[in-house]
Structure 1
């Protein structure tokens, strides 16, 4: 008969995983009930500057260009839109869900002044492109 060594840390890690799983399932159900009510999430952003412009990169996987609205009010950039849930995901039940669907909004106070867009065409002053699920906004510094 082989003696098995008791490893309390392994048992603690298994308990930790099980508790995390319970919380994930609970909060997933709560968030699914809230989806029809309001803004569901704020997408993650990176903001950096070059010598001539401020660059904002926003992670928006699965969002199409027509569902995104970008607005500049003074020194505040507002990005809003909607990410639709795929039809096949709506029909079945999730085992695990981390992606967010529904309406999103992100408000960013820019770290430095950008060119006055009132005197310029928005497309000439600020460039916004969506490539492979990443929205990149480039605003020239003033």
Structure 2
């Protein structure tokens, strides 16, 4: 009996373990700004809303079931449906009129150009060896 409880404790996620968010995203810093990609398989472009306000990017949408199945006829159901929302704080305020978004094979790409004044204020400083 003691062994059962010891094994049970090992199967639980560790405190503070990372919780995954939907959609899964990657953000890359480029010389022109940021490029974000988000995995949105099975979601149509018309069901996705991307908006920028100040330094905040919001991606939201809804994944709907293709057809309704009576619960008594359901054998296995692992796919998820419903609304989602992901909000990210950006390191700069992009020019909203220049932000672009497109979908390709279930991957949303959002390009957020760095504003001119931010680009000019940031200068890469080379670190040299002394002597």
The TM-score normalised by the length of structure 2 is: 0.64
What does 1:49-64 correspond to in 2, within 5 Å?
49-64=29-44
Q: What is aligned with 1:128?
A: 101
| Greater helix share, structure number | 1
Unaligned runs of 5+ in 1: 1-11, 20-40
What does 1:39-118 correspond to in 2, within 5 Å?
42-87=22-67, 90-91=69-70, 92-95=73-76, 97=78, 99-110=79-90, 112-117=91-96
Q: CA deviation at 1:113?
A: 1.2
Work out whether residues 42 and 106 of structure 1, in 8 Å CA contact, stay in contact via their aligned partners in 2.
Answer: yes
- Residue correspondences, number: 98
The ranges of structure 1 where at least 4 consecutive aligned residues each deviate by more than 6 angstroms after the TM superposition are none
Unaligned runs of 5+ in 2: 12-20, 116-131
How much is the aligned-residue C-alpha RMSD, in angstroms? Answer: 2.6
Quote the Cα distance in structure 1 between the aligned partners of 2:94 and 2:31: 14
In structure 2, the CA distance between the partners of 1:94 and 1:140, relative to structure 1 (3 Å rule), is farther
